Structure 1
């Protein structure tokens, strides 16, 4: 999982390697599993939008500054600017993803249409029975397709929980070790604690995290408190199984949809298909009701992409044909942005370097091709240019403080091409190379 860059927008979901894609400007975190935070560290310096629970875990685990964490309430539309001037905005709504504590789906609505990014999720019918998804046309769906395979049969969580309880009842004299990720399956453990009247033993570090989630008081750090304990999934191995069984008869349970390994049977390790991702049948139901116009699988797999094509409805206006508003293009370039470059000659050099690396997709086309453009569009562009000249977008020390007109540069030999930046901020020779 390397995250998602949504085409023709400054939006990035679970994507943190911005040195490769500099046009990403708005960053969203769906949940705190490690495969969705790769590249995110305490040195991160851009605002992150996430759920309140994820925000707490993010600061606790990765020490990201609280000032950069923007926690958004679920099931409420939030207006976010798509440029420096507020000319273009979008609405984002967070929806419970039913995956792990704090996990959410993102519903984006703006000039690009309506986009739903599921992150990791376990489908439940209630998701589509209430706003905002009960009566919304989805132009593009980024889908968690982890289990989208006709050959992969998964029970419901309730059925899987019953299987786990039966295994524990079959071993009344054994200690039980669960191999889990750092986050996830907390509700399962609370239910087992009540069923077997046992405290759940965890590490001190795990207990700190669980206290943030404000769960029921069934967890405890230190040995001897109960017969059920939790360790990292990777700690359930041959060496530890031998060690645990030397002290007391012990079984291990791995609640995961991944297949069992050969050695598991010989060491009393039980793999139960308890999954926090939607099953194939659940995904079919979700797609048949939602009827998205276009589908993008989050997990790239050729066979899966072929199967998913049958569930997409014809898209009247493909995302790739949607024109990015001029002010958003400036925002995506990041040129002249004070929070990114600051002021002075050193800032100017950074701007020039960034200009060289801007993808061709954000360079304006020839004016002749846009002669039919509306007065509103031209007015918006003039607004951006004037704001840049006034210092709203450009903060280099030798920027000209006068309104700029759009059009080709005189005597440059490149008719029809133009820059939306002051000539002295980014020399024309750098823009024309893009």
Structure 2
């Protein structure tokens, strides 16, 4: 889509131009009206720069584009406003908004300041009453005229909107038994619809989206969203094509009307193109330029013919000197909204997952004395700095150790509701035990490794594992294989490819101290495992029947179901 906006040279002003990267010196932005070709680049994320417009355009900015209200500054029409052009209040400009006679909320801007007088028409339909505006009636010299030249073609003539509206009424009257479909853009020509509703005493059927806009404009109550409630229906201009028009006429005789100044050719006998335009004709532009006599003329779209440029006086515009304070204002970066930045920081902190409380993600047996240069020590230090796994509440005297030497096992939901992750809680220990890693190894005693009550599945078996991978030496640890009748539930979660999933790694070192400490730990862990196994045996549900002797098996049974060849000694024992 074309961009019908301009950045005013030698000023911090931009009109209908929203591509900030292409106008880094612009600080004050002005919106002439809400047609989409004048809002290219303007979205709900607009920030840090004020937008000045009419009160109606301000409503539509919030409704249609969701621009934040803090950046929208509505200005009343025909009232001069003074705006700063620097950050110290030394340079100012005066801006006056005038009705552009184009669509709801459309305005022209008259800028007056160190740069002279600039009139920016935006899209407009000229009427002689515009020359009677107070700001133009005081013999104001227009140094630069930014002119809407959409219909600046000397070979084409356009009727006034009153004559075009009368032509549309005649077409509808000549087809009294037809429904009427009118193709329009999202905004514009609402006054024509109200006029047709009053003339034919009918509701105007519109879409829900258009109704939302019409309510914001506070127009007369002649519109409805009920299908079939009125004879006249409004659709998007792009909907009026050959296929839809044939479909409408198969259902019911239907007229289609396109009120536009575009040179379109009818493709159906029931399609009528009427030159109803919200842009000035060439003759109207000539009248406007002849009356204003601007020093220079800048077309908003394309070029203007030489015949129009010849109407301007042969005066040379004086050189513009940009004040130093304005230059600094145009070169500095817009102020950052600190409140918005703080809110974003707060949101990010809330999204970040909180540190677990009351849980230490460590194995029940750890390396209590590692080299400070080792990799495991650095990982532990990072974890402690982040406060992971340590409960800071003074009321809690115990914490829970969780065995991560095995991958967390996904437990199958009985109703197929997904996997439920379960953690194997190994034991409950005192706070002194949990903090034992800060105690030197030499001060530890056998009581530190006394067996404690097991709070998980008592059928589980604990086996020491010793593995060496790559350049790391592995410390024996305890693996807990959960006993389950379902083989699927005993599978790990699929993270087994990582080398640190089921073992604790310690970087290899040539220091003798490290080797000695590893040997000592192996002995301590072995004793600890023996104690755990004994405690497990005491808790297993053995009965007297399990330990009763059944005597010697019959020889014929042994010979019939031999698992391995019998040795001579075995044969003798059977014979005896």
For the superposition of Structure 1 and Structure 2, which TM-score range results when normalised by the shorter chain?
Answer: 0.7 to 0.9
Alignment of 1:390-401 (within 5 A): none
Shift of 1:339: 3.4
Deviation string 1:346-385 (CA, Å, 9 cap, x unpaired) is xxxxxxxxxxxxxxxxxxxxxxxxxxxxxxxxxxxxxxxx
1:110 positional shift: 0.2
SS of 2:286 mapped into structure 1? helix
| Residue of structure 2 equivalent to 1:4 | 6
Matched, 1:97 2:94: no
**Relative to structure 1, is the Cα distance of residues 98 and 286 closer, same or farther in structure 2, using a 3 angstrom cutoff?**
same
Q: 1:85 to 1:340 in 2, by over 3 A?
A: farther
Correspondences of 1:212-231 after superposition (within 5 Å): 212-231=216-235
Q: Matched residues in 1 for 2:248 and 2:86: separation?
A: 57
Tell me if structure 1 keeps the 8 A contact 2:143–2:295: yes
CA distance in 1, matches of 2:225, 2:52: 32
Shift of 1:34: 0.4
Structure-1 residue corresponding to 2:76: 73
Q: Give the aligned partner of residue 204 of structure 1.
A: 208
Return the match for 2:336 from 329, 339, 350: 339
8 Å CA contact 1:295, 1:308 repeated in 2: no
| In structure 1, C-alpha distance between the alignment counterparts of 2:62 and 2:94, rounded to whole Å | 25
Provide the residue aligned with 1:121 in structure 2: 124
1:117/1:124 CA distance change after superposition, 3 Å: same
Question: Aligned equivalents of 1:10 and 1:172: distance in 2?
Answer: 56
State the partner residue of 1:325: 323
CA distance in 2, matches of 1:83, 1:73: 23
Using the TM superposition, give the Cα deviation of residue 157 of structure 1 relative to its aligned residue in structure 2, in angstroms: 0.6
> What stretches of structure 1 move > 6 A for 4+ residues in a row?
none
- SS of the residue 2:23 aligns to: coil
TM-score by structure 1 length? 0.75
Question: Greater CA radius of gyration, 1 or 2?
Answer: 2
Cα distance change, pair 265–237 in 1 and its aligned pair in 2 (3 A): closer
**TM-score, normalising length from structure 2?**
0.57
1:223 and 1:341 mapped to 2: Cα distance?
50
1:137-185 CA deviation, whole Å, 9 max, x = no partner? 1010000011111111100011101110011011111111010011100
Return 5+ residue gaps in structure 1 as ranges: 343-434
Aligned residues: 336
Alignment gaps of 5+ in structure 2:
340-576
| 1:297–1:305 CA contact under 8 A, matched in 2 | no
Deviation at 1:246, TM superposition (A): 1.8
Q: How far apart in 2 are the matches of 1:168 and 1:50? A: 37
Report deviation, 1:267: 5.0
- Which residue in the other structure is 1:43 paired with? 45
Whether the 8 Å contact between 1:180 and 1:230 is mirrored in structure 2 is yes
Match of 1:190 among 176, 190, 194: 194
Give the distance between the partners of 1:83 and 1:268, measured in 2 at CA. 59
**1:272-351 alignment runs, 5 A limit:** 272-301=274-303, 304-318=304-318, 321-335=319-333, 337-339=334-336
Aligned equivalents of 1:179, 1:196: Cα separation in 2: 18
Query: Aligned to 1:277, what secondary structure does the other structure show?
Result: coil
| Higher RCO (C-alpha under 8 Å, 6+ residues apart) | 1
Query: What is aligned with 1:111?
Result: 114
CA contact (8 A) 2:242 2:268 kept: no
Distance 2:73 2:185 in 1: 25
Matched, 1:60 2:58: no
Maintained 8 Å contact 2:184/2:234:
yes
Report the 3-state secondary structure (helix = DSSP H, G, I; strand = E; otherwise coil) of the residue aligned with 2:268.
Answer: helix
2:231 and 2:85 map into 1 onto residues whose CA distance is 53
- Contact conserved, 2:242 with 2:267, CA < 8 A, in 1? no
Cα shift readout 1:263-322 (whole Å, capped 9, x = no counterpart)? x24252111000000111111111111111110011113xx243332122233434xx20
